[in-house]
Structure 1
Amino acid sequence: MIPIAVLWLALAIDRWLGEPPLRWHPVVWIGRYLGWIGQRVAPPAGAPARRLAAFAGGAIAWCAGAALVLAAAGAIEAAANRMPAWAGILLAGIVLKPLLAWRMLRDEVMAVESALGRSLDEGRAQLARLVSREVSSLDAAGVRESAIESLAENLNDSLVAPLFWFVLFGLPGAALYRFANTADAMWGYRGERGGRQWEWAGKWAARADDLLSWVPARLTALLLLCGWPGRGPGGAARAVFREARLTPSPNSGWPMAAMALQLGVRLAKPGIYVLNAQGRTPAAADTARAARRAARAVLLAGLCATAALAGLTPMELR
């Protein structure tokens, strides 16, 4: 029962206290490492292309960082296991919390809607804190669509996937996933970014994140689809599969498509894809509806993780 207590303590801390200060945040530490080493493995923009060297450098740097993260998380878990139960639960729960970020995600998305209510420029500026895409040409509908897409996609990255790997491998599993996801966010670009070429230097990081997110992304879509009126499980799955294939990512399209279909809205990235093209343009109320759908998925994810940690089968749960 200890891992279950750790899980719910982390979720409770996230719900009531949110993120720790930046100087104590392990994901910030990961980002600093990736930023420092990335400047040394990715060639400068305009430099002669040396694909193999860039790929090898990125892969070695990723593996070195992953090894450090696994060692640190494993040491903390081992220390927690040697403590009295209450102390071990407290330590592990506090360490697990920064690897989950549902409250921050929800607050950032709702802040976009609030800013958009004041002016389009404020909405764009707030959205730029949340996404890496160009926002200056987006109209109000485009800003809202991007915010809802980010909510759905990051529901997997910030909560469902870390929980999935925590259930399988404890703190080291959740920590490794957050390292991989952060590395993809910072390195997984095709072309230039920040004066560096990432096409090959970031390829290992991008593929590692694709692999680790493959199952959780589909679970996130399933959690979002629970209770979809008028559709059986088969029909809902086929609809999501049809829409998810329209995106270039092997994973992010699944939760985004599920959210678009649940809300009955159109979600698009200009020039790249349109999800649920027959849906209506999202209105201001749809951002709050999306947050409520995602909150329900968070609760379901916690309950499913609890059942998995307790070793309960669906039949035993009934």
Structure 2
Amino acid sequence: MSIPAILALAMLLDAALGEPRWLWSRLPHPAVLMGRAIDALDMRLNAGAFRRAKGVLAVAMLAVGALTIGVVLAQLGTLIVAIAAAILIAQRSLVDHVAAVAAGLRQSTEAGRSAVAMIVGRDTNGMDQATVTRAAIESASENFSDGVIAPLFWLAIAGLPGLVLYKTINTADSMIGHRTARHAQFGWAAARLDDVMNFVPARASAALIALLARPRPRWQDIASDARQHRSPNGGWPEATMARSIGVALSGPRAYAGQTQDYPFVNPAGLRRAGPAQIDAAITVLWRAWGAVLILATLAALLV
């Protein structure tokens, strides 16, 4: 089975099955296992002097482990590779979580807050409908790049070892890549490597969303907004989504009780957005997913 065929099969398996509770309630999800390894290294190495060097060592150990696991699994056959890839792709679970926010908001703002708290790290207490909506759409945009396009990209470039490596580094960044007193030094390597590995996928995600949008947003406007974003990569899919569905994203939010006055992305867009705009973002996600599936299928037929 060719790499494009594996990509297409993995995408279809993920879309059909998502993350079945009957399975992951009995077995630890690979992301959970990655998290345990990262947490163990954090507890063991993140102390005393030379924390940046220790963080580099931790990332090197994680990378060796991830590549080894990927190589071993790849020897078990293409069907195992496709199943493993489907588990590490997050289109279905992403859409389900974001759709739950829209459903919650249609019940009450409080229900929307509870749903969005499952997918964002910012403070959700006191959020109104507009801020809940922005948080959900921002998560949808950035995680489409991190959870769908980047895994597919690294699977296509470096096979299952590349995909497992990417997911491990991305998980490490989410756990220790923050600029806090504890992790500013130790998590430096994880954050920088995650930036490197997401550089192409983030811009590819933006280009894909933009090409399918009607009317099509100008790339110059997307680039201008993306440069204002706090993340060197996350701003690209977020800025494109904002302009594709006509909303303003980002803006002020709070973390651990501290308000961060981030600038708006697409500041001229709708700021009092609600469930309908979340629905529009989900439509964009599936449209972009479908385009990638078509490309992978055509490539599989031509190989």
Q: By how many angstroms is 1:68 displaced?
A: 0.8
**Structure 2 regions of 5+ residues with no counterpart?**
253-260
Q: By how many angstroms is 1:8 displaced?
A: 1.9
Q: By how many angstroms is 1:95 displaced?
A: 1.1
Q: By how many angstroms is 1:166 displaced?
A: 0.8
* RMSD (CA atoms): 1.8
> Which of 210, 213, 236 is equivalent to 1:254?
236
Asked if the contact 1:34–1:183 (Cα under 8 Å) also holds between the matched residues in 2, the reply is yes
What SS is found at the alignment partner of 1:191? coil
Who is 1:25 aligned against? 29
The answer to whether the aligner puts 1:123 opposite 2:108 as a matched pair is no
Within 5 Å, which residues of 2 pair with 1:1-318? Answer: 1-19=1-19, 21-22=23-24, 23-43=27-47, 50=49, 53-80=50-77, 89-192=78-181, 197-231=182-216, 236-270=218-252, 271-281=261-271, 282-306=273-297
Q: Work out which of the two has the higher radius of gyration on C-alpha atoms and give 1 or 2.
A: 1
Which amino acid is 2:161 matched to?
Answer: P
Determine the C-alpha separation between the residues in 1 that align with 2:172 and 2:239: 24
What SS is found at the alignment partner of 2:209? helix
Determine the C-alpha separation between the residues in 1 that align with 2:301 and 2:156: 10
Determine the C-alpha separation between the residues in 2 that align with 1:279 and 1:227: 19
Asked if the contact 1:164–1:305 (Cα under 8 Å) also holds between the matched residues in 2, the reply is no
Asked if the contact 1:265–1:279 (Cα under 8 Å) also holds between the matched residues in 2, the reply is yes
Asked if the contact 1:163–1:305 (Cα under 8 Å) also holds between the matched residues in 2, the reply is no
* Residue 214 to residue 307, structure 1, CA distance change in 2 (3 Å): farther
* Residue 311 to residue 69, structure 1, CA distance change in 2 (3 Å): farther
What SS is found at the alignment partner of 2:123? coil
* Residue 11 to residue 227, structure 1, CA distance change in 2 (3 Å): closer
Q: By how many angstroms is 1:91 displaced?
A: 1.4
* Residue 174 to residue 198, structure 1, CA distance change in 2 (3 Å): same
**Structure 1 regions of 5+ residues with no counterpart?**
81-88, 313-318
What SS is found at the alignment partner of 2:250? strand
What SS is found at the alignment partner of 1:75? helix
Aligned length: 290
Determine the C-alpha separation between the residues in 2 that align with 1:153 and 1:280: 19
TM-score, with length taken from structure 2: 0.90
Determine the C-alpha separation between the residues in 1 that align with 2:209 and 2:220: 14
Q: By how many angstroms is 1:260 displaced?
A: 0.3
Asked if the contact 2:73–2:81 (Cα under 8 Å) also holds between the matched residues in 1, the reply is yes
| Identity over aligned pairs, percent | 36
TM-score, with length taken from structure 1: 0.86
* Residue 278 to residue 147, structure 1, CA distance change in 2 (3 Å): same
What SS is found at the alignment partner of 1:161? helix
Which amino acid is 1:213 matched to?
Answer: N
Question: Per-residue CA shift, 1:173-219, capped at 9, x if unaligned?
Answer: 11111111100000111114xxxx01101010000000000010000
